[in-house]
Amino acid sequence: MSGRERGRQLLAALAEKVRKEVAPSGEPILHAKGQKAVAELAADLSGDHGPPGLKVFRDAHDRFRVQRPNKNAEIGVEWQRPIGAVVLKCDKGGRPSPDVRYTYREAGDAWHRMDGEGELYEDVTELLAEVLYPEAKR
Q: How many whole angstroms from its chain centre is CA 5?
A: 43
pLDDT at 34 over 80: yes
For residue 74, the model assigns a pLDDT of 97
The residue type of 36 is K
Q: What is the pLDDT of residues 91-134, one digit of tens each?
A: 999 999 999 999 999 888 899 999 878 999 999 999 999 999 99
Phi, psi for 82 (deg, rounded to 5): -60, -30
Could you say which of 3.30.413.10, 3.30.920.10, 2.70.98.50, 3.90.550.10 is the CATH number of the domain covering 27-137? 3.30.920.10
Contacts of 133 (CB under 8 A, 6+ apart): 51, 68
For residue 25, the model assigns a pLDDT of 67
Contacts of 29 (CB under 8 A, 6+ apart): 20, 21, 22, 23
Q: What does pTM read for this prediction?
A: 0.83
DSSP β-bridge partners for residue 80: 85
User: E strand or H helix at 35, and its extent?
Assistant: helix 29-46
Query: Where exactly are the structural domains of the chain?
Result: 27-137
